[in-house]
Structure 1
Amino acid sequence: MADHYNVSSFLTLQGFHLPPDGVLPAFLFAVLSYLIILFCNLALIITIVLNRSLHQPMYYLLLNLPVNDLIGCSALFPQVIKEILLDTRRMHHTACVAQAFCIHVYGLGAVFILSAMAYDRYVAICCPLKYNVIMTNAHVMKLIAAVWGLNVLAMAVLFYLLLRLPRCRSLMTHSYCDNPSLLSLVCTDTSVNNVYGLALVAVTQVISHVVILYTYLQILLTCFRSKGCDTKAKAMQTCATHLIVFLLLECLGLFTIISYRLNDISPHLRRFIGASALVFPPMLNPIIYGLKTKEIRTKLVQFFNKKISFL
């Protein structure tokens, strides 16, 4: 009962409970994973920023994906690496809220960005003659501003509803901070938070699925009607790339949400599922886009060839 009335500024996270001989492999795996994510996403950002030939609406929108991935993984990995290395599970409440906010911004941002990218491909493939008229730089900047503005606003409301409630516990139910774990520390009615959270998930999922399903269906129909083999192949490749990234994110996100609702699930499995949504998409997204997008792949090869030649 002591923890029930504990309102300490420091929270106690659920540890990974690693055996002594598993600490070093876990630490090396976490550090290596973080470095790979940083390298791949920064390489994608630098490639798009430094090459004027990639300064097009499609790549402006794509640029937001690695930025968003860096926000998510950088909110998670430093804390996890510190926890593994120092065997500490204590975290200040303010830092915990900041971590949770960034993680949720990452999750919602990924859905919004992929939806915006699907809309761009729809206009490019289904309305090619109007593409330059519709997807002007001003329109793309408004689209990007809307993606980030709505994302931050939705998360600001979510965490305002959380922080207004009195906290009377300090023992977290997760190995990192997110809204459900922080909400479990509250000892009062959380109906408003639950309704808003579920409504936010439902609305964003419905909108994103409708946008992506409609745009991809129209793209596929346009491809089948097209007589040009090159156009059809390029459009199908674009659809496949977007669908792989979107399905990966959706499956991991869905498993994470379901794991919170299942009381019988192993705590270790719940932590793994939750962390996987912040590890695999940021690691695979730049690799998928870098390998599947010819223009980016070509510029990356040229960039590294110049660096190797210089050395």
Structure 2
Amino acid sequence: MENQTLSMDILVLEGLKVSPQSSVPAFVLLLLIYVFIMVSNVGLVVLISTERSLHQPMYLLFCNMSINDAFGSTVILPGVLSDMFTPTSERFIHYHDCVLQAFLGHFHAGASHTVLMIMAFDRYVAICSPLRYAAVMTGRTVATLSAAAWASVFFLVLILVGLSVRLSRCRRVVLNPFCDNASLFKLSCESVLANHIYGLGYTAVLLGSSLGSVALTYLKIAIVCLSTKNKSSHSKALQTCASHLAVYIVLLVSGFIIVVLHRFPHLSDHRKLASILLHVIPPSVNAVIYGLQIKAVRIKNP
């Protein structure tokens, strides 16, 4: 009985189906991307921290995203890389490590949305109420909003994963390259109705508030831009908003692709690849977009 209990705590990751000929190129490519993500995002955090001219709310929020991107990639990619040369039957992970990885992966995805919501609010105040910007977006306000963004996601994801942990397990195979909440509750033979209800509610609240706030914010920004005759004001608004919108659209599209692929079981291999790309494409693109914007600011203000 003790051996059986112990064996149920050791799970098998199904992983990606990569041919022996493609293993080395895939490993090298993914490793280079991971190194780029870490170097670029950590570099941006160091640059913003040390450059006094960048100690502004918008760039401090960039720090939030860069830290989150580096953190999210580290949760997933090292494990995927280490499993690439491991036979499928030997890709083991302890149940507790699987739970932790699922929690951290969802925490990263959720924090991406909440931090971007704060960034949308920052752009709204800067463009629609420029005279009040310094009074509204103080350092204390940025710290408070950032803490709220991380804390709200922490508790929501804690409940999400906690509902899966409460279930007994009758399976040992994780049908994914890494652990997520769906992988956890699919290990159980019990009813997972509560998991589905909360999962849908969590997704609706997170995406609904995210989409709603960003759409409302940029609708008001567009109204302000159209109501003023100052063309330079239009140009400045577009420049400051373009990076945020690009980052948000990349995150949204990457997430929706996975949701759509879940509806087609015969495309499970494509879904697995898309789930990895969610932790690869946004962090890579974000670093490039933020880096270019910071470079433009430093050129204008040497």
1:48, 1:285 → 2: CA distance?
A: 15
2:138, 2:127 → 1: CA distance?
A: 16
Secondary structure at 1:176 match in 2: coil
2:200 — aligned with what?
198
2:114 to 102, 112, 115: 112
2:190, 2:299 → 1: CA distance?
A: 56
Q: Which runs of 5+ in 2 are unaligned?
A: none
Question: Alpha carbon RMSD of aligned pairs, Å?
Answer: 2.1
The residue type paired with residue 142 of structure 2 is V
Describe the superposition over 1:74-105 as per-residue Cα deviations: whole angstroms up to 9, x where unpaired.
01111011101344411111111111111101
1:229 — aligned with what?
231
Give the superposition deviation at 1:25.
0.9
1:268 — aligned with what?
269
1:292, 1:132 → 2: CA distance?
A: 21
1:49 — aligned with what?
49
2:19 — aligned with what?
19
Secondary structure at 1:189 match in 2: coil
1:46, 1:296 → 2: CA distance?
A: 16
The residue type paired with residue 266 of structure 1 is L
Shift in alpha-carbon separation, 1:66–1:144, aligned structure 2, 3 A:
same
The residue type paired with residue 178 of structure 1 is D
Equivalent pairs, count: 297
Does structure 2 retain, via aligned residues, the 8 Å contact 1:223–1:236? no
1:73, 1:18 → 2: CA distance?
A: 20
2:299, 2:6 → 1: CA distance?
A: 57
Secondary structure at 1:266 match in 2: helix
2:126 — aligned with what?
124
Does structure 2 retain, via aligned residues, the 8 Å contact 1:71–1:103? no
- Please say which of residues 239-248 and 144-153 is displaced more in the overlay: 239-248
1:164 — aligned with what?
166
Describe the superposition over 1:141-187 as per-residue Cα deviations: whole angstroms up to 9, x where unpaired.
11011001101111111111111111111011111111111111011
- Please say which of residues 5-14 and 25-34 is displaced more in the overlay: 5-14
2:297, 2:45 → 1: CA distance?
A: 10
1:8 — aligned with what?
8
Q: Does 1:72 align with 2:69?
A: no
Shift in alpha-carbon separation, 1:296–1:197, aligned structure 2, 3 A:
farther
1:185 — aligned with what?
187
Q: Does 1:290 align with 2:291?
A: yes
1:21, 1:298 → 2: CA distance?
A: 46
Give the superposition deviation at 1:241.
1.5
- Please say which of residues 8-17 and 189-198 is displaced more in the overlay: 8-17
Give the superposition deviation at 1:261.
3.0
Shift in alpha-carbon separation, 1:25–1:58, aligned structure 2, 3 A:
same
Secondary structure at 1:278 match in 2: coil
1:151 — aligned with what?
153
Percentage of matched positions with identical amino acids:
36
The residue type paired with residue 28 of structure 1 is V
Give the superposition deviation at 1:228.
3.0
1:256, 1:19 → 2: CA distance?
A: 23
Does structure 2 retain, via aligned residues, the 8 Å contact 1:69–1:106? yes
1:280 — aligned with what?
281
1:308 — aligned with what?
none
Does structure 2 retain, via aligned residues, the 8 Å contact 1:290–1:297? no
Describe the superposition over 1:46-81 as per-residue Cα deviations: whole angstroms up to 9, x where unpaired.
111111111111111121001111111001111011
Runs of 4+ in 1 over 3 A off after TM superposition: 85-88, 292-299
Describe the superposition over 1:13-39 as per-residue Cα deviations: whole angstroms up to 9, x where unpaired.
113232222221111112111101111
1:196, 1:143 → 2: CA distance?
A: 25
Give the superposition deviation at 1:295.
5.1
1:205, 1:267 → 2: CA distance?
A: 24
Describe the superposition over 1:189-248 as per-residue Cα deviations: whole angstroms up to 9, x where unpaired.
111111111001001111111110111111112122233333221211222211111111
Give the superposition deviation at 1:260.
2.1
Shift in alpha-carbon separation, 1:296–1:74, aligned structure 2, 3 A:
farther
1:307 — aligned with what?
none
Secondary structure at 1:11 match in 2: strand
TM-score if structure 1 supplies the norm length? 0.90
Does structure 2 retain, via aligned residues, the 8 Å contact 1:13–1:173? yes
Give the superposition deviation at 1:293.
4.2
1:62 — aligned with what?
62
